[in-house]
Amino acid sequence: MKTAIADVLAQDLELAYITDADPPGLGLYTTITVAGQPMNVVVDTSSIRLLYVWQDAYEKARGVGACKRMFYHCYSCGRHQCKPQDTSNVTLGDGTSALIFRWADDMRVGGRNFMLMKFGLIFASEPTFAERTPHGVLGLGNDAGQYYPTIMDQLGVRIPYSKNMFTLYLRHSFGGNVPARGDLLIGGADKSAYVPPLRYMEFRVDERRVGFAEVSK
C-alpha cells in the first residue's frame, strides 16, 4: 500500500480482468488489509457501504479453503467469535442483494493503520454463495448514517481532511491484458498526476458512478 501524501491517503488502485466476477469482466478494485488479512474490494462511488465477505458463512457454503481460492478473499473474526445480529438487507451495484451485520476491526488504508473501523460482513446473498461468488465493496458515497458510517466519515474523524473529497487516477495500460494501475486519493488530489489544465467531457446520467457493473460494460 502507498504512504500518505501530506494529509492525503494514497491507496493503490487497479483495473483488471476478474474471473471471479459473474460474468467475468473488468473490475476496479483496491486491496485493504483488515487485522492482517488482505481484502480485494470493488471500488464503487455510488455505494455508501464498506463490506467484506464473512469467511465462516462462505466456507460453510463452498467448503474449507474456498476463501483462499476466491479473488476477493474473506474476513475471519478469528478468536472473537462474531455472529450475525441486527442484520440488514442491502442491494449492491451489480444488482445482487446481501445480508450483512456490523463488525469492527483494525484496518490499514493508504499506508496508515486505523483502529476499530466499522464495516459490514456479508453472511448470505441472493444469488446464493453456491450460485455466484460474492465480493467486498469499498463505497465512497455519502450519508450512510451512524450505524454504518462511510469510510470517508470514519477516516475524516481520525485524520481531518483539508478537503472532504476523493480522487481516482488510472494510468493508461499499453500491454493488452496488463491491468491499468493508479491511485485512490482520500482527502484531496495530486496535481503531479496530470498535466493542467484538466479537460472535462460530458457523460450521461447513468454513467456518473464508478462501480463493478459500470466498468465491466
pLDDT at residue 144 in the model: 63
How large is the average pLDDT for residues 116-141? Answer: 93
Q: May I ask the CATH architecture of the domain 9-215?
A: Beta Barrel (2.40)
In the predicted structure, residue 142 carries a pLDDT above the cut 50: yes
Going by C-alpha positions, the residue among 199, 187, 194, 135 that lies closest to residue 170 is 194
Per-domain residue ranges for the chain?
Answer: 9-215
In the predicted structure, residue 207 carries a pLDDT above the cut 80: no
Give CA 37 to chain center in angstroms: 14
- pLDDT tens-digit readout, 162-201: 777 888 888 776 565 567 888 998 888 777 777 777 666 6
pTM: 0.84
Q: To which residue does cell 464498506 refer? A: 50
Q: Specify the 3-state DSSP secondary structure of 184.
A: strand
pLDDT at residue 178 in the model: 62
Amino acid making up residue 213: A
Dihedral angle at the C-alpha atoms of 96, 102, 106, 112, nearest 10 degrees?
50
